[in-house]
Amino acid sequence: MRWLLTIVLLMSWTGSAAAAAPYAVNSIMLLQPQEAMAQRVDGAEAMAAYIKALNAAAQAHLQRAAPGAPASGYVVVAVRADGARKVWLDYTPALPAAVEGPLRAALERVAPMHVREGAAVFAINASLWGGASASDGPSPAQWHQAAARAGRPLEVEELVLRLFDGR
């Protein structure tokens, strides 16, 4: 909890913006234990700066896009030690391909934080175009497919590393 609190404070996060803002952050969720994050990331400051940059990229991209239907969900992010990153958009209702693909590409262009080993995984609970805050945790469809291919439950880090490898 201390790590997450530090990240939120460093972001100067004030919660949701105007009701119909194209992108409004509701919360940040670490998808690995704090101890694992502390081993992988060069401090909460580096992670907070990366999250700020992701939020700025999402906001800028969606402000230029045509307004969409209100949506609730998550921007799920994994950064691997070699600097590779993947973003999954887990929204209800599902985002149209014309919105999802370009938004994901804009987020994946953001320079990642440094990760020392394995992968660091977190989610940003963000509402789009006035959607409510998501109440369930993130669960991207691609994650379910990867777990089904593995034939067994997977820890988050193992799951995202499999997806990086195309498994």
pLDDT in tens, 76-130: 999 999 999 999 999 999 999 999 999 999 999 999 999 999 999 999 999 999 9
User: Rounded to whole angstroms, how far apart are CA atoms 67 and 98?
Assistant: 12
Reply yes or no on whether the pLDDT at 4 is more than 70: no
Number of domains in the chain: 1
- Which neighbouring-strand residues pair with 117? none
Residues listed for the chain: 167
Backbone angles phi, psi at 96, to 5 degrees: -60, 150
Reply yes or no on whether the pLDDT at 6 is more than 70: no
Segments forming the whole domain that contains residue 37? 2-164
**What does pTM read for this prediction?**
0.89
Burial of residue 43 (CB within 10 Å: 0-12, 13-18, 19+) is middle
Reply yes or no on whether the pLDDT at 69 is more than 80: yes
